[in-house]
Chain A
Amino acid sequence: MKKVLVLCSAVVVALAFMAASSIHSVSEGVDVGDIAPDFNLMNVDGEMISLSDYKAEEGHEAVKGFIITFTCNTCPYAIMYEDRLIELHNKMAPMGWPVVAIQPNDPSVKPGDSMDKMKERATEKGFPFVYLMDEGQKVYPKFGAERTPHVFLLDTDRKVHYIGAIDDSARDPESVTRNYVVDAISAIEKGNTPDPVSTKAIGCSIKTKK
Chain B
Amino acid sequence: MQRFWMVIFLLVSFTFGCQSSGETDQVEQAEKKPKPLYVSYEKFDDIAPLFNKNNDTTYVINFWATWCKPCVEELPYFEDLYAAYSDKKVKIILVSLDFPNQIESKFIPFLEERQLGPDIALLLDGDANTWIDRVNPEWGGAIPVTLVYKNEASTFHSTQFASFDELEEIVKEIL
Contact = CB atoms under 8 A, between A and B. Distances in A.
Contact of A200 (B67, B139, B144): B139
Contact of B129 (A146, A147, A165, A205): A165
B143 A204 contact: yes
**SS class, residues of chain B in contact with chain A:** loop
A164 interface: yes
A58 interface: no
A164 B129 contact: yes
A116 B100 CA distance: 32
Contacts of B68: 204
B140 A146 contact: yes
Interface string A198-210: 0111111110001
A205 B160 CA distance: 9
A76 interface: yes
A91 interface: no
A170 interface: yes
In this complex, the interface size class of chain B, counting residues with CB under 8 Å from chain A, is 20 to 34
Interface string A81-109: 00000000000000000000000000000
A200 B129 contact: yes
B40 to A, nearest CB: 14
Interface in A155-171: 164-165, 168-171
Given A164-B129, A168-B127, A169-B127, A200 B140 contact: yes
A201 B143 CA distance: 10
A27 B8 CA distance: 52
Nearest to B144: A205
Interface string B137-152: 0011111100000000
B30 interface: no
B1 interface: no
A175 interface: yes
Contacts of A147: 140-142
Contacts of A210: 162
Interface residues of A, number: 21
A205 B142 contact: yes
A202 B128 contact: yes
B141 A203 contact: yes
A79 B145 CA distance: 21
Contact of A170 (B67, B128, B142, B160): B128
A45 interface: no
A153 B109 CA distance: 40
A103 to B, nearest CB: 16
Given A76-B99, A200-B141, A201-B129, 20 more contacts: A146-B142, A165-B129, A168-B127, A169-B127, A170-B128, A175-B126, A199-B129, A200-B128, A200-B132, A200-B133, A201-B128, A201-B141, A202-B142, A202-B143, A204-B68, A205-B70, A205-B142, A205-B159, A205-B160, A206-B142
29 contacts: A146-B140, A146-B142, A147-B140, A165-B128, A165-B129, A168-B127, A168-B129, A169-B126, A170-B128, A171-B100, A171-B101, A172-B100, A172-B126, A196-B129, A199-B129, A200-B129, A200-B132, A201-B129, A202-B97, A202-B128, A202-B132, A202-B143, A203-B141, A204-B143, A205-B70, A205-B142, A205-B144, A205-B160, A206-B142
Interface of B: 67-68, 70, 97, 99-101, 126-129, 132-133, 139-144, 159-160, 162
